[in-house]
Structure formats: C-alpha cells, structure tokens
Chain A
C-alpha cells in the first residue's frame, strides 16, 4: 500500500514535470539553444544527489565506495562546469541589445578575459 502510493506519487511528478518541461522549453528562442543545452546539461548533473545518497549507505563495500566517488566527481564536473560555461555564454548575449555605448564597453572590459 505504502509502496504503491510512493510509486504513483512519483509517477505523477514525472508526468507533470514532463509537461512543464515542454511548455517552458518551447519558449526558448533558437538563438539561445546552445546555452539552453549547456544549462539543461548542468541540471541533469542532479544525479550527483544519487551518489551522495548512496555513499552514506554503502557500508564497507570498498568497490562501491570507489565507483560512487567517481560518480560524485562526474556529477560535480557536470554541475559546476555546466553552470559556469552557460554563464559565460549568456554574459556574451546579455551585453548585446546595446543600451549605451559606454555600458557595452564596460561589459567588454569586465566579462571577457580569455
């Protein structure tokens, strides 16, 4: 009974999230599709939570600890790398609809050390 209700609740969340995803993502213009990809990429780094959850439960299984540490490394790369790179890209788009010449120059000086 309890198991069934956990399953059905989670399925409901799954389906609703799918619909919300479609609605929200449909509004993103073609121009921003690369940042969208890298941003959603960062979001699926949420699998890091799985690694964190299981490593606390893994007891004395040394092999499990090894693969979970690798999973945590992967998840962290995914999250941190993904958000940072998306931020870098979006900063470049942000300065674009040129409000004032000076402000644009400021952005150039501040945001683009490569």
Chain B
C-alpha cells in the first residue's frame, strides 16, 4: 500500500482532494438552507452528507491504517452520541450544545498532542505548521475545559452564579495566558520537550476554567457562542497544520458563525464581549440594585388565575413574552395549550422573543417549536416592539430583565441602553413569576410597579395550566 506505483486512482491525492472540495461545498450549501424553516432540515442533511464524504475521503488515503482502532473509536462515539442526541430534552439543549462543543475542542488538542509526539516535538517540519498546531492545542484546550464548565453550570452540577477569585481574577487569567504563550514560543523556536508541551496544555486548561467559572448563568448565550467560535477556529488551524482543505473551510465557517452570534448576543445585552468574559456581573449589579430598590415606593398588585383568565378571554390581541423561567418550569406545552384555547376564542396570539431570552441564542424558539407553536407567530424583538401599542394583554412568563423599562428610562440603571421588549406599551400586563426576587442582573423591574401590571405568583407551568383551566369555565 505504501508503494506509490500501487496506488489506485481512488487513492490518488487529486481524487481525495476533489472529494474534500465536494464535502466543503456541501457544508456551505447546507448552511444556506438554514435561512428558512422549510429548507433547514434538508440543509442540515446536505451538510451531513458532506461530512460523510469527507470521512470516506480520509479513509481512502493510502497511508491509512490501524483499522481496528478506527472502528473502535467510531463505534464508541456512535454509541454515546446517538442516544444522547435522541433523548435530550429541548430544555436541556444549551448544555447539549456546550457538551458537543467541548468534545470537539477536546479532539483538537489531543490531535495536536499526537502530532507533537509523532514528529518528535515538531522536529523537521515547517515552522508555520508548528505554529498552527500550537494554536490549535491552546485554543482547543481552552474550549474543551471552558465548555465543560459551561455544561456543568447549565446542568447545575456547578452553581450558576459567578465563581471568582475577586480582584486577582484578571491577573491570574493574564498570567495563565502569558505562560501558555511563552511555552508555545519556546516550542516553536526549537525546544522538543514534551513536558513543556504538556505544560502549555495545562495552562490552557486552567485558563478555560478560570475564564468561564466567573461568568453568570444569564451570560451563557454569549459564552456558548464564543466557545463555538473558538472550537471552529482551532479546527481550521488543525486543517492548516495537516494540509486538509475540508477542515480549513469547515472550521472557518464555524468560526464565522460563532463570531456573528457572539456579537449579536453582546449587542442584545448592551455589553462588550470583554466585559462579559471578565465576568462577575451578578455581584456588582446586585449592590446597585439594592440601593435602587427603595426608590420604588409603588405597590405591586397580585392577581389570581381566574382574573387573569377573564382578562385574557376578553382581549383582542395577546402577546406572550417567554423567558428562562418558562424553560426551567418546562412550561412550553402548557403555554401552547393556553394560547390554543385563546385562539379558539378568536384572540390573536403571538410571541415576542428577546435575542438573549434563555441560555443560548434562539433557545425560546426551539422550546415553542417543540410545543407546536406555528413559526410565523414567533416574533423577533424588532418586529414585536411596534406591535405592543395595539396589544391588549402582554403575558410575561418567566422573563425579567429583558422587559425592564429602566433600560430605556433610567440612565443610572446598570442595564440602561439594553434593547428591551417594550411590554409596558401594551394596555395591560400580566407577569407570571415565582417571587419578587430580582432577575439575573440583580435589579428591580420597574414594570412590576406599573399600575397596568398585575403579578400572578407561582411556577410558570402550574400557573399557566390554572389559567387554562379557568378559561374553560368562562
């Protein structure tokens, strides 16, 4: 097999390269399908076919070997991946994405490590290959550990609140980064010591932990997007190091996607990416919030499920504003039942979704789609806001900071300037909430003191079901 003369056409460099070109074309074509819900399923399958072609092309390589180990690895990966993907609940999707992202990063740094060992510490290969491989090792390791921490937080194995070293945090992070880079520079300039390579991996691993631990739960949409971009870029770097065009293209597309999403999330929170990565927002915000709390001498009016049902039944137009509370309570099906009941009574229902509602970009949309909510009822923030003025009742379910008018009216508020859903423009507002506890940003929501607003305290799922039950009796 290693004799060049014996290489068949199927195993020739050119044929394999052409297969890679077909593969990455299918990735791009597949992602184009994601522009709309009707073409998206097909798009995803097209990308999957591209992936199968890329794998087959690689297995055709004449110097391929160790077939038993390859079969073992693929069999194990399938045995873990298939049931996980089949059984995961839609509410657990953010942690699933974090986990898949982590294993990708893990594969990247392990591959870089194997490459280091195989070449005797990058001896006798071009310097640029060494640099790209080291980049992949560091970023892959950061992404692996960072994603695992994000998974732990979302799965609530680790507390979701920021865990920080205090003022020393930035110094420690900086030090770890400098150490990892110093080790990498040492290796790139000719040191073949594996101990140093492992040291680089360890520093990057600690950095991944140290960066994500201080970030609070509600900032997770940004973190997941950012780690997604990281894994993509490290995959592209691996592609350059291994001279593989399919890996380069696929990695860069993922890098671009992650970067776009990260930016979008940061804009929707009105915060810079460095500020989010620096973390600890929950703590600082709570102090400011506590001082602001006393300013609201207004009263909070609570309501009952029966009253809420009457209010909704006689409305012409109702907008549902879901938030993380709906996901936690797994209330999406109950919400759908309520809105179905309302629609049967001739009420016009739509859903207004803030970009950062939930724990990952588009989280609420997935949950509502699971509950069979029609796609065209899901409104993005910019489309939803002008509609609130002609809305009779806004039903806020487990959303808090994204509806706080302070973001528009109170320059001293920590969330001032953040784009919000302007539910206070509607004729009346019903807020379903477990208690008066402030949301993630730790600040009071002025909306709750608005005379138009009534509060229905309770778990989102049972509260919504109660309203539906009351509605049936009207």
Q: Known interface pairs A22-B256, A45-B51, A90-B37. Does A7 touch B128 (Cβ–Cβ under 8 Å)? A: yes
The answer on a CB contact under 8 Å between B246 and A41 is no
Q: Known interface pairs A43-B254, A57-B63, A83-B51. Does A34 touch B104 (Cβ–Cβ under 8 Å)? A: no
B31-56, CB under 8 A of A: which get 1 and which 0?
A: 11011111011011101100100110
B256-284, CB under 8 A of A: which get 1 and which 0?
A: 11101100100000000000000000000
The answer on a CB contact under 8 Å between B374 and A85 is no
- Residue of chain B at shortest CB distance from A99: B38
Q: A87 contacts which of B44, B238, B264 (Cβ < 8 Å)? A: B44
The answer on a CB contact under 8 Å between B34 and A17 is no
Is B167 located at the chain interface by the 8 A CB criterion? Answer: no
5 contacts between A and B (CB under 8 A): A18-B252, A20-B253, A47-B251, A70-B106, A78-B81
The answer on a CB contact under 8 Å between A54 and B115 is yes
Taking beta carbons and an 8 Å cutoff, which residues of A are in contact with B?
3, 6-7, 10-11, 13-14, 17-18, 20-22, 24-59, 61, 63-65, 67-98, 104, 108, 114
Q: How far is B96's CA from A80's CA once the two chains are assembled, in angstroms?
A: 13
Instruction: Please give the distance in Å from A72's CB to the nearest CB on chain B.
Output: 3
Taking beta carbons and an 8 Å cutoff, which residues of B are in contact with A?
24, 27-28, 30-32, 34-38, 40-41, 43-45, 47-48, 51, 54-55, 58-59, 61, 63-66, 69-70, 72-74, 76-78, 80-82, 84-86, 88-90, 93, 96-97, 100-101, 103-104, 106-108, 110-111, 113-115, 117-118, 126, 128, 224-225, 228, 231-232, 235-236, 238-240, 242-258, 260-261, 264, 353, 355, 360-363, 365-366, 369-370, 372-376, 378, 380
Q: Known interface pairs A14-B240, A31-B365. Does A44 touch B254 (Cβ–Cβ under 8 Å)? A: yes
Q: B362 contacts which of A30, A41, A79 (Cβ < 8 Å)? A: A30
Q: A25 contacts which of B48, B69, B104, B253 (Cβ < 8 Å)? A: B253
Q: How far is B251's CA from A75's CA once the two chains are assembled, in angstroms?
A: 13
Name the prevailing secondary structure of the B interface residues: helix
Q: Please list the 8 inter-chain residue pairs (A to B) with the smallest Cβ-Cβ separation, ordered nearest first.
A: A76-B77, A21-B256, A72-B73, A33-B362, A81-B81, A96-B375, A33-B361, A84-B85
The answer on a CB contact under 8 Å between A87 and B107 is no
The answer on a CB contact under 8 Å between B374 and A35 is no
The answer on a CB contact under 8 Å between A37 and B58 is no
Instruction: Please give the distance in Å from A91's CB to the nearest CB on chain B.
Output: 6
Instruction: Please give the distance in Å from A83's CB to the nearest CB on chain B.
Output: 4
The answer on a CB contact under 8 Å between A65 and B261 is no
Q: How far is B49's CA from A87's CA once the two chains are assembled, in angstroms?
A: 13
Q: A50 contacts which of B225, B242, B264 (Cβ < 8 Å)? A: B242
Q: How far is B258's CA from A44's CA once the two chains are assembled, in angstroms?
A: 11
- Residue of chain B at shortest CB distance from A75: B107
List the B side residues contacting A98 at CB < 8 Å: 374
Instruction: Please give the distance in Å from A55's CB to the nearest CB on chain B.
Output: 5
The answer on a CB contact under 8 Å between B248 and A87 is no
Q: B111 contacts which of A11, A47, A56, A63 (Cβ < 8 Å)? A: A47
Q: Known interface pairs A45-B51, A50-B238, A98-B374. Does A28 touch B35 (Cβ–Cβ under 8 Å)? A: yes
List the A side residues contacting B101 at CB < 8 Å: 41, 44
